[in-house]
Chains A and B, each alone.
Chain A
Amino acid sequence: MSTATPPPHAPRPPTIAIASGKGGTGKTTLAVNLARACGAPVQLLDCDVEAPNAHLFMHGVACATTVFSVPVPVIDNARCDGCGACARGCAFHALAMVGPAPLVFAELCHSCGGCVQLCPQQAISETPQRRGEIETQQAGLVTLTLGRLDIGVAMAPPLIHAVKAGARRDLPTIIDAPPGTSCPVLAALRGADGVALVTEPTPFGLHDLRLAVAMTRTLGLPFGVVINRADSGDDRARTYCREEAIPILLELPDDRRIAEAYARGALIYDALPEYRAAFDTLWARLRALARAAQHD
């Protein structure tokens, strides 16, 4: 008898995140070409929600767009007795108690719902407030989902969580993380089975690679390093990886044709077939990294 349920010991498809401390090292370039290299149905999550750009290289067909909202408090002035418990309890200072009823500063609200619980008069309810949108596109075998934060919105993590929560569990997943090492990056990386940290062989690149390594180790995620434009700077990124026993998963040269393909919005995988093997190898290494972690 056939069944749709996979056998209990079948490995879950891996989730691979591409991150870097420094911006502009080539996260998106790697992510889109890895997705292309997959050769089977794969989903690419563009979690750089403040500046998503993976779609510029995938040229997919838009499938669906949903509005992303978060709950924020609304005060029922008829019920509010002005006790101020909500404002005193708000760790984010999104409520101010002056005059007869609290003022709501929704842009500071982290949607914890604490004020609703604290109000003795049950005068606070929550209403959805738009913060951005989530778009899905299909480009060949690649399902691209991108979060797009509205202009002026400061908090990226809730939208990143929503992009990840909507992802399919039955497909391998590549996450294009935002740059840096702060909350949005942690939101993008948590739960990944393997991480590729992209760097460049410059003092700036190494400085931020150290931060990214410390962050990834704190999260307890298996990772390796990709050195982009590897022949353009010095040897310090390689030396650092050797000293820290960090695997170098791939080195990409500083090839003007790569920059030209990028500027046209073309995938290296398609424009420069001689690099296919490099991305195929990277994908295989990241899968192996993830598989080893899943078996731990």
Chain B
Amino acid sequence: MEVPILKQGHYLIASIQSALSDADLSQLREALIARVGKFRARGVIVDVTALDVMDSFAVRTLRDIAHMARLRGAETVIVGIQPEVAFAMVQLGLTLKGIVTALDLEEGLAFLDRQGQGRIDNRQGHGRIDRG
């Protein structure tokens, strides 16, 4: 099942709609990384609200997405991890260390906006013009 990826301003939003197989997760990773370049995205949000389980493969793939996107110049926020899912993840020993998470889509977007503001301020401070 393919995960729809929406473009909103400088951000890409992938909202997972149903249970995903390992192949679906890998496909999502490839699609997101390609689109970060294509749309010159500065932020990626992966909404996992609909995921009822996160196992070691899912966590590894989300980590890979965040790291690869960062190498391509975009920040990733994982949003919507459900309480039971968080509980099972901790029991499994799975962490998302170094990855930004937020309660929901709204919080995730707010984080990216703050990040972007920081970047613009920095660049202007150095007398450079922000791209885009």
Partners in one complex: no
Give me the interface of A with B, judged by CB distance under 8 Å: none
Residues of B with Cβ closer than 8 Å to A? none
